[in-house]
Every structure is written in structure tokens, then in C-alpha cells.
């Protein structure tokens, strides 16, 4: 059964479906090209975001370094105190060393310096 246009209605639907599929595929390819171009050429916003993240990472690392340095100071103070106590236990002397170590520990706890 032919239509008045000279072709079957099924052929019209197949043609329209094929054109729609080609158009969808073309849009998909264009989106992919845009995405690849955006990945290859970072925008100013991306660069600013990257700088912000780098600055935040630097601040975190600096804080960790300060914390590590403080922990090292505390550990050294504890080890020195243990050495003074061991000397006192072994020979019974060194009371003045114990008093000096006590002052150093108190100064560290109060003022934060060794």
C-alpha cells in the first residue's frame, strides 16, 4: 500500500529513525570532543582551584612538620629525664640533676620550650 507521496509509511519511519540515530551519535561525538578539549586545556578556574588545593596541602604539611618537631622535642626531653633517673637509681647520686630535669620539664609544660 503506497502513500500519496510515492513511498511506503514504513520507509518514512525507518528513514526518520535512522536520521534520529545519526543525530544522536553526532551529538555524542561533539560532547566527547568538547570533553577531551577541556581535559587538554585547563581553564582558569581549574588552575585557581589547583592553586587553592596546593596552598591547603602546603598548610597541612607545615602543620604536620611543626607537630612532628614538637613531638621530637618532647621525646628528647622524656629520654633525658629517663637517663637522669637511671643514673640516680644506679649510683644514688645526681639529686641536683633530678632537680634540674624537673625544672626543665616544668618549663616545657608551662612555656612550651626546652
Nearest-CA neighbor of 111 among 63, 77, 61, 60? 77
pLDDT of residue 37 exceeding 90: no
Average pLDDT over residues 65-72: 92
Say whether pLDDT at 1 is over 60.
no
Over the range 91-109, which residues count as b (16 or more CB within 10 Å of their CB) and which as e?
A: eeebeebeeebeebeeeee
Neighbour count for residue 55 (Cβ, 10 Å): 10
**Most confident residue range from 18-27, 48-57, 87-96:** 18-27
Highest mean pLDDT among 45-49, 90-94, 100-104: 100-104
pTM, two decimal places? 0.48
Amino acid at each position: 500500500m503506497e502513500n500519496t507521496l510515492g513511498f511506503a509509511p514504513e520507509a518514512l519511519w525507518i528513514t526518520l529513525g535512522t536520521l534520529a540515530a545519526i543525530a544522536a551519535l553526532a551529538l555524542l561525538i561533539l560532547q566527547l570532543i568538547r570533553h577531551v578539549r577541556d581535559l587538554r586545556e585547563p581553564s582558569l578556574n581549574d588552575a585557581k582551584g589547583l592553586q587553592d588545593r596546593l596552598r591547603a596541602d602546603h598548610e597541612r604539611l607545615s602543620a604536620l612538620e611543626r607537630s612532628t618537631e614538637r613531638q621530637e622535642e618532647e621525646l628528647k626531653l622524656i629520654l633525658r629525664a629517663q637517663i637522669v633517673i637511671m643514673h640516680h637509681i644506679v649510683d644514688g647520686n645526681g639529686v641536683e640533676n633530678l632537680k634540674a630535669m624537673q625544672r626543665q620539664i616544668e618549663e616545657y609544660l608551662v612555656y612550651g620550650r626546652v
